[in-house]
Structure 1
């Protein structure tokens, strides 16, 4: 049988007539040479079938099409009579991929990246793709400052037309930024500019931050930082002329030179408002932070336009445009601004769409919405709605979008998308505190029962001082108006003898409580409970204070109280976990109602306020005040006294150690009927660590007082030191190193204090 052989390499010559093919009608098509590729796959790509006429043009098309699949490294066409024979030689398959010398990257990450460019086990091997992968690997190393990296690739043929790829990597040393120069600095200080950049020369934390490793992306961000730095200080014509990055011959040191033109500093001559203001001009003037005579600041100008847009958004103008147009007077070095206001058409909300809530009921989310359907759009209410949904702590993500309704100019939808997270918890854990030593704790809780938004928990806590078993239930929407209802049942023992208190107590009881919202951030709480407390006073030989003995003689070992509580709380924090602004306040009054065994009252007030001093510095100021006394001629039960000292109070002093002591037994702290504690901290993130770790200096002052232990005589105990908080994966860790600065001879000191884990 005679065959005409046409090589694939000369397929392009068919059309020119260098190799002629007599046209014929194809009676059959055969494929030869395939090993791994299915014959059906080849036939599906062939642009010719039985019955078609074969000619030079069709032959070229067949070869080109099969080459384009990437499965074959050679394709030939043979003709035997009226039979078309396609002979192929498959590319080998990749059987394995190995790395040698890999330290900087994780192997699995690299394999994933190689797969994206076409190199993976079981895929067809292509040398062009491999070269592309080598360049991508090298680029990844260059982005990490490994400029001396060399990558050698070895291809090893295996049986069954397979290959093994081995990447031999010599990573070399990481190049460090040796020097950064900013040329053209006159009006400002170069050291201040360098401090604002992300790229830096090596320092003590560079091993973690990698700030001494050059990358093009970081440099671009730093150039924009420089631009913002100058524009916020009046240099309206600032410009970066050029940047030059060079590397030493040994590829270990990098030198960066940034050439800038500062220009002149401009003052603001005037700020005008124009356009359709819709509101009184004075309302907008209050939002303008740029004033005539001020040094120009782009940041303040942007804040002004945003504040005006927010005011319009709060009035329903969802599509408002606010832009500032400058008029520059170069001779006087002044700039005037006209802020053009275009409110657009007032919009209302067509529909609120909630998605992603696979477990939580729709109404649980809708009851937190402050923006209503069919109501005028209010940007502030939309933001408040998102914050309230987020604070439920039922979701890991909450995203809110307000797209315009297609085909309208005055309607928007509010799309709320949430990502559910686990709200149930069954745990057995352990903690440790410098006061209570080892604490074993466990809990079974569900803060979103069956997606209803209700909270139920069974808590167990065992520690050296406190042991508690309790059941808590809360329905945050007992009524549609947002009134909450809850109840608590508990059994608690207190054993503070290790701290010098010569008594033990056992309490059990329960109560009901209601919360009435009086604003977005304020709540009134009311509660009524019944409590029975049994006192066990140690023998007199163990240093029992006379006050304890007198109380037991007057009231007995066991007493019933009916405490009624009322409190006001306000929470304006921007975050319940790591706040940076806002604060919390709580004022409470507890009255043991007359008619039971004991009657007394306790008034308390706590406040914590956060202030952002800079991007990374947060100031916290706090206070804790208390006043208590007996009613109807009774004295305050000694176990209801206030105590101070330790973590959460005055650090540097032992837990609950401040205040009056028994004159006969100086190690026994009696507590007081009045308390005053003040705290201040400056918190900042630790360089190179995530925001979950914050530290800073603190100053504490506080004490407890009685009629015989007064503020005038004793004053406040004070301390200074360093504190740190870390929200670790195993639980919150708090520790402090405090130095008392006016301690007395009988004060108990504890300079290092910490608490690890959460207690119930």
Structure 2
């Protein structure tokens, strides 16, 4: 109405101004009132020139054209002799536009809207444009369900005919759904129908959730889910007659009413397959999951279409169309279905293009592709290629598109778009673990060395338990067939006592190489050969005479290490039975060979939601080593997506080891002479002499990354002072239910409910299920910049007197 009134007044003004000028021949034109706009701009828009006859008609036309430029808020014509005088008053220029109060919509997005409408710095100010912007911003917030939004525009006049525009936004809260009423549903309850709704009433305990927030898009999607709910259960004539949405007086509460007509239940009469059947009809029929005699289900029909389309896409028919044609017999309440198959032309891949890999070489991505150039299109090969790339640690996201090649109907390109994450790091930092205490680390790690996909690393760390230096190298594609090769060198000093293990320290240096061979897309075989030299500092010092005179008097004493009382580990090293632990008895050379099989079908390397990961490893000390032994271990985990972002997983961990030399048979070591441990641990866990697998290769249990709720490495066999000594046989497992992160969604954050169980036994013959310890609780894992932060709160069960339990456990930081 205001704009219409302004237009009428402008027309009257033009008429009066034009009518006030008598017709004459224009000898010259002069413009007055200009400040920023040049005369040349006026002449470009002016439909008059020197020598023209000025009439009321073309005078009105001239004024109209100058108004249309939007540069002026007043235009008038005057005459001085035969000179046409154009008097103008320019609109002010916008000197500055400020935004405040916006949080839900980023400033970049709002400024893009402002630019599209025509309100930006340097532009001519127009009040109507400002009003239109205000309406558009309100519309943007309404789309988010913020109906209490208020957009206040303030214009301040400045010198030199300029203005400052301030846009102050009070976003308000998102309106929440307070009530949903479905009218007309007689067969199903509101609760059943609304289970899959995205816009639903938020439970009071989900205070962090956006579940109850309203938006038109959510409501539209939920109405389609409502329709699908009935169509999937045979209600072919189901109809939503109307949907009403009302807003409370404070614009914070939403009330929704949907009026529905259910209709009757229909069954399936006949199922046919017609069209160009490039695959045997019998094969296609096995892909159809809806059968005659069943209740009609649109979901089953759509799944059947997807099954047929998928198998056609895997043999090159990328643009296959399967159209389910239904014939509804309302008299008998039956539906006949005809799946009409139009495979289209068989398509092959012209070119594979990679985008976004500024650091990573094309060949690194290309070797992960299972879809080849020049080959027939295969959707399964493309999907598998995407999963393989997502499992690489140096890509944040991987997207694949298959656009048709222009001008052809049988070719497509594959465009792979990746977002790279930093693959290299130089870190000097601190961490803390309840077991290791303060951890100081220096690490240089490059998982994608010069874009080749090779891994190179140098790590130095120090804590009260372990000090280590590591150098690693791995080439995952040593050969074009995918055979990997790696090398490592390591030196470490380990204080077992600080790790809750029977008191001894060790120093070790090692080097080796390994190879990996892919067997299938998800199966991998690895083998490694290495050498280790370990020296143990174990036992207690005792003075002994090193030199006697002729009369048997001691001339010189020396310190020697002897087995510690009550320590079965040091006792087992006294192989010659002389009561002294010589340097030769405390030094071990190991020629280590390992063979492992792994299977990894997880959809993401960090936080998987489906798939499994399994590893079976055989490690053995070859003949020629100081001790000959073997270790067999298995680790496995399986993930299932359940509902609404919940992921259920189970895991298992088994370990067993033994010696195959004659050390135990030939040893003269004496078991400790203690029947009851000095402490409150279980007497049945007392180990009197370590046999079988050497104790420096034992398995251990307990801790935040193993069996939560128990102190690290404290479960299992004990020495005479109830200190853990580990064992030859380990059993562990658990279940987890991963919950969607309430406050911050991200691939690096994970919250889970867990149940853990496990124990370590002296040997496999000592296994007793009743000794298995357990715990349940809540864990939080966050991949922070300083390394993984792990926090768990556990409630142990089946714990026994003497067990060292911990309800709250955590660690942060990382070491090599």
Q: 2:738 aligns with which of 683, 686, 697?
A: 683
Cα distance between partner residues in 1 of 2:624 and 2:292? 69
1:701 aligned onto 2:757: yes
Instruction: Give 1:426's aligned residue.
Output: 426
Instruction: Give 2:710's aligned residue.
Output: 653
Question: Shift of residue 213 of structure 1?
Answer: 3.6
SS in structure 2 of the partner of residue 748 of structure 1: coil
Instruction: Give 2:194's aligned residue.
Output: 194
Instruction: Give 1:590's aligned residue.
Output: 619
Q: Is the 8 A contact 1:8 1:77 kept in 2?
A: no
Question: Shift of residue 138 of structure 1?
Answer: 3.3
Q: 1:249-648 residue pairs with structure 2 within 5 A?
A: 249-498=249-498, 499-537=500-538, 539=540, 545-551=567-573, 553=581, 556-634=585-663, 635-648=692-705
Instruction: Give 1:215's aligned residue.
Output: 215
Cα distance between partner residues in 1 of 2:313 and 2:435? 52
Cα distance between partner residues in 2 of 1:313 and 1:65? 60
Q: Is the 8 A contact 1:23 1:55 kept in 2?
A: no
1:69-127 per-position Cα deviation (integer Å, ceiling 9, x unaligned): 32221233445556554432111123345678778777776556544433334432211
Q: Is 207-216 or 359-368 further displaced after alignment?
A: 207-216
Question: Shift of residue 526 of structure 1?
Answer: 1.3
How many residues matched?
A: 750
Question: Shift of residue 417 of structure 1?
Answer: 3.1
SS in structure 2 of the partner of residue 670 of structure 1: coil
**Closer, same or farther: CA 737–87 of 1 in aligned 2, 3 Å:** same
SS in structure 2 of the partner of residue 682 of structure 1: strand
TM-score by length of 2: 0.84
Q: Is 356-365 or 369-378 further displaced after alignment?
A: 356-365
Instruction: Give 1:3's aligned residue.
Output: none
Q: Is 277-286 or 713-722 further displaced after alignment?
A: 713-722
Cα distance between partner residues in 1 of 2:294 and 2:475? 53
1:574-599 per-position Cα deviation (integer Å, ceiling 9, x unaligned): 11122111101111111111113232
Cα distance between partner residues in 2 of 1:369 and 1:38? 61
SS in structure 2 of the partner of residue 209 of structure 1: coil
Q: Is the 8 A contact 1:588 1:605 kept in 2?
A: yes
SS in structure 2 of the partner of residue 652 of structure 1: coil
Q: Is the 8 A contact 2:564 2:570 kept in 1?
A: no
Which runs of 5 or more residues in structure 2 are unaligned?
A: 1-8, 542-562, 575-580, 664-691
1:35-94 per-position Cα deviation (integer Å, ceiling 9, x unaligned): 233445445545566677766666555433432332221233445556554432111123
SS in structure 2 of the partner of residue 447 of structure 1: strand
Cα distance between partner residues in 2 of 1:186 and 1:267? 19
Q: Is 328-337 or 162-171 further displaced after alignment?
A: 162-171
Cα distance between partner residues in 2 of 1:154 and 1:51? 47
Instruction: Give 2:24's aligned residue.
Output: 22
Cα distance between partner residues in 2 of 1:723 and 1:332? 57
SS in structure 2 of the partner of residue 502 of structure 1: coil
Instruction: Give 1:181's aligned residue.
Output: 181
Q: Is the 8 A contact 1:8 1:63 kept in 2?
A: no
1:172-201 per-position Cα deviation (integer Å, ceiling 9, x unaligned): 776543322111121112123334322233
Cα distance between partner residues in 2 of 1:612 and 1:104? 31
SS in structure 1 of the partner of residue 24 of structure 2: coil
Q: Is the 8 A contact 2:753 2:778 kept in 1?
A: yes
**Closer, same or farther: CA 150–713 of 1 in aligned 2, 3 Å:** closer
Q: 1:112-131 residue pairs with structure 2 within 5 A?
A: 113-131=113-131
1:748 aligned onto 2:770: no
1:260-287 per-position Cα deviation (integer Å, ceiling 9, x unaligned): 2222233334433222222223322332
Question: Shift of residue 397 of structure 1?
Answer: 3.6
Cα distance between partner residues in 1 of 2:597 and 2:764? 31
Q: 1:724 aligns with which of 766, 780, 786?
A: 780
SS in structure 1 of the partner of residue 595 of structure 2: strand
Cα distance between partner residues in 1 of 2:405 and 2:383? 20
1:303-331 per-position Cα deviation (integer Å, ceiling 9, x unaligned): 22112111111111122111212232334
Which runs of 5 or more residues in structure 1 are unaligned?
A: 1-6
SS in structure 2 of the partner of residue 138 of structure 1: helix
Q: Is the 8 A contact 2:24 2:82 kept in 1?
A: no
Q: Is the 8 A contact 1:14 1:56 kept in 2?
A: no
Cα distance between partner residues in 1 of 2:236 and 2:813? 52
Question: Shift of residue 357 of structure 1?
Answer: 3.0
Q: Is the 8 A contact 2:627 2:661 kept in 1?
A: no
Q: Is the 8 A contact 1:538 1:544 kept in 2?
A: no
**Closer, same or farther: CA 699–533 of 1 in aligned 2, 3 Å:** same
Instruction: Give 2:687's aligned residue.
Output: none
CA RMSD of aligned residues (A): 3.2
**Closer, same or farther: CA 393–547 of 1 in aligned 2, 3 Å:** closer
Q: Is the 8 A contact 1:660 1:709 kept in 2?
A: no
**Closer, same or farther: CA 52–532 of 1 in aligned 2, 3 Å:** farther
Q: Is the 8 A contact 2:523 2:597 kept in 1?
A: yes
Question: Shift of residue 544 of structure 1?
Answer: 6.4
Cα distance between partner residues in 2 of 1:130 and 1:366? 52
Q: Is the 8 A contact 1:551 1:637 kept in 2?
A: no
Q: Is the 8 A contact 1:14 1:20 kept in 2?
A: no
SS in structure 2 of the partner of residue 129 of structure 1: helix
Q: Is the 8 A contact 2:25 2:51 kept in 1?
A: no
Cα distance between partner residues in 2 of 1:362 and 1:177? 50
Q: Is the 8 A contact 2:386 2:400 kept in 1?
A: yes
Question: Shift of residue 685 of structure 1?
Answer: 1.2
Question: Shift of residue 364 of structure 1?
Answer: 2.1
Question: Shift of residue 489 of structure 1?
Answer: 1.3
Instruction: Give 1:4's aligned residue.
Output: none
Q: Is 188-197 or 56-65 further displaced after alignment?
A: 56-65
Instruction: Give 1:669's aligned residue.
Output: 724
**Closer, same or farther: CA 363–653 of 1 in aligned 2, 3 Å:** same
Cα distance between partner residues in 2 of 1:11 and 1:745? 100
Q: 1:238-253 residue pairs with structure 2 within 5 A?
A: 238-253=238-253
SS in structure 2 of the partner of residue 386 of structure 1: helix
Q: 1:23-102 residue pairs with structure 2 within 5 A?
A: 23-24=25-26, 29-46=29-46, 59-80=59-80, 83-97=83-97
